[in-house]
Amino acid sequence: MKTRWIQAVFLPLIFCLGGAGCSDSNNNNVKQTPVATLDDEVRQLISAYELTGNPATGRDLPDISDPVAQLGMKLFFTKSLGGQTDAACVSCHHPVLGGGDDLSLPIGVDAEIPDLLGPGRLHSSAGFGFDGGPTVPRNAPTTFNMGLWDQVVFHDGRVESLGKTVGKNGDDGHGIRTPDTAFGVADEGAKNLTQAQALFPVTSPEEMRAKFKEGDSNQQVRDALAARLVGQDIPNTWLEEFQEAFDSDAAAEDLITFLNISLAIGFYENSQVLVDNPWRAYVEGDDAAIGEAAKRGARLFYTSSDEGGADCVACHSGDFFTDEQFHVLAAPQVGRGKGDGEFSDDDFGRFRETGTETDRYAFRTPALLNVNATGPWTHAGAYSSLAEVVRHHADPGQAIYEYDFSLSDLDPGIQGEHAPENTRFALSQLESLRDAGESKLPPLDLTQGDVADLVAFLEALTDPCVEDRDCIGRWVPDSSDTGPDNLQLNAVGEDGDSL
């Protein structure tokens, strides 16, 4: 493909310089074929893939000023929803940290300093299951643009819309399956994908629950947490907050339910619509919105491998840059894993939900909006630069061969005793799928320039608001406040400064 691009630009020039009649005076009646510019080529691809630049078009998404979203923000930041009141939703998903935690793998409960988020957050040696490393086995997905998912959420898709209607975030009347129900069976407590996923961090021992109500069901844990907000063992003003948000004078027991808690958190997360990026401006017609490198990267991204491109669009499709399907990438498997495999520290991904052999080591295609701000990347946070991720996609075998399994480039203490073996198992699965024609990941021969161009394109997908503290601060409560229960998590970074 690169050869054809070069020919398209330079052959007419050679023809002219060779004296074949390019003089205006001698050829006034000869129609010249215009040479396609880089912008022309990229815009042809935009048209071919029917891109608009705005994946939020036509969706009913709340604004952060909505009273229910404001309540959701307070709930998102309160440690009252943590079993032992030392963790909140925001412990792993802070807006200033890209809607995640800026760590390869999260540390939820039992942090040495509960309010310290991001690099420097460590698991306390007094915490249960301490081994010196992070406790949560998968990278924290961003909460940004949660309302744009229509099929599945979580890396393994364990919360799944049964209808998968485009534009509905799972709220299409067909139901949503969750870990509380059998595969393919709707959970009556799930109203949309965002609200449904908010039901589960509070039930995870590593994330928020710890040993709270050990032995109880997920719903019993949720009911106990709601009762905590209803009662006054921890003095609070939650009833007034719920009455204002829901415009209701109902009693605390009727209004402060975990269904309403999850609905409010869902409103808050769905208000995080961050799609106003340079690529969108370019798609909408501003040729100067992105640079030449990003344009070359876009051309690679949207061109098939057969035509010399990288064919990223095969999986990262549409304006949201995901097909919401599951693919085997064979990214390095680091951390504690999910109890799978020979050493019980592997992670079989989607296979854990479906039991389908081709789903072993498959994980959900991530959306790429704001990707520059949401690292580290891959399901276990194994890569700390986008260039590494791009190179892995191009040649997983070579990337794994060169990978530093000492994990010295990652956060301290990440478990990796069997990381090489587990990763090679995943690579073997990818190779088998390729041989069977069941993989969408083609082998690529990318130059350093190609990698740099693709990274430039990926960087153009980030909304500037994400990197502007004043702008993103709309989703962060005032740190001079302590919240309705004096348990608001006012986060600090490793330097002690407020996030």
**CA 436/CA 444 separation, integer angstroms:** 18
- Inside any domain, residue 1: no
Same domain assignment for residues 203 and 342: no
pLDDT tens-digit series, residues 98-111? 999 999 999 999 99
Residues 302, 252 share a domain: no
Q: Is residue 212 domain-resident?
A: yes
Average pLDDT value for the chain? 94
Q: What is the DSSP string of 424-446?
A: HHHHHHHHHHHHTT---------
Q: Which amino acid is at 305?
A: S
pLDDT of the residue at 35: 64
CA angle 304, 307, 308 (to 5 degrees): 90
Q: Are residues 189 and 318 in the same domain?
A: no
CA distances 408 to 131, 400, 412, 496, Å, are 17, 15, 8, 24
Q: 196: buried, middle or exposed (CB in 10 Å: 19+, 13-18, 0-12)? A: buried
Chain centroid, CA 398 distance in Å? 25
Q: What is the CATH number of the domain that holds 421?
A: 1.10.760.10
Residues 376 and 419 in one domain: yes
Q: Beta-strand (E) ranges in 119-226?
A: 152-153, 159-161, 176-177
Same domain, 149 and 189: yes
Number of structural domains in the chain: 2
| C-alpha–C-alpha distance, residues 472 and 272, integer Å | 9
Indicate whether 37 belongs to any domain.
Answer: no
Q: Report the distance separating Cα 75 and Cα 115, nearest Å.
A: 16
Q: Are residues 332 and 246 in the same domain?
A: no
Integer angstrom CA distances of residue 212 from 81, 108, 176, 331: 11, 14, 27, 34
In a domain, 191, yes or no: yes
- Shared domain for 249 and 368, answered yes or no, is no
Question: Is it the case that residue 452 has pLDDT exceeding 70?
Answer: yes
268 and 310 inside one domain: no
Q: What are the tens digits of pLDDT across the range 346-398?
A: 999 999 999 999 999 999 999 999 999 999 999 999 999 999 999 999 999 99
485 vs 230, 307, 495, CA distance in Å? 11, 59, 27
**Which of 272, 304, 337 is at the close of a domain?**
272
Quick one: tokens of 477?
Answer: 């409560």
199 with 153, same domain: the answer is yes
Q: What is the pTM of this model?
A: 0.92
CB atoms within 10 A of CB 412: 12
Same domain assignment for residues 266 and 356 = no
Q: By residue range, what is the domain housing residue 337?
A: 290-459
Tell which of 272, 307, 325 closes a domain. Answer: 272
Asked if residue 426 is part of any domain, the answer here is yes
Specify whether the CB–CB gap between 251 and 242 falls below 8 A: no
Amino acid, res. 220? Q
Mean pLDDT of 421-439: 98
CA dihedral of 278, 281, 285, 287, whole degrees rounded to 10: -20
Percent of the chain with pLDDT over 90: 93
Decide: helix, strand or coil at residue 160: strand
237 belongs to a structural domain: yes
Domain membership of residue 380 (yes or no) is yes
In a domain, 141, yes or no: yes
Where does a domain end: 272, 307, 326?
A: 272
Residues 432, 348 share a domain: yes
Distance CA(169)–CA(194), nearest Å, equals 7
Same domain, 253 and 347: no
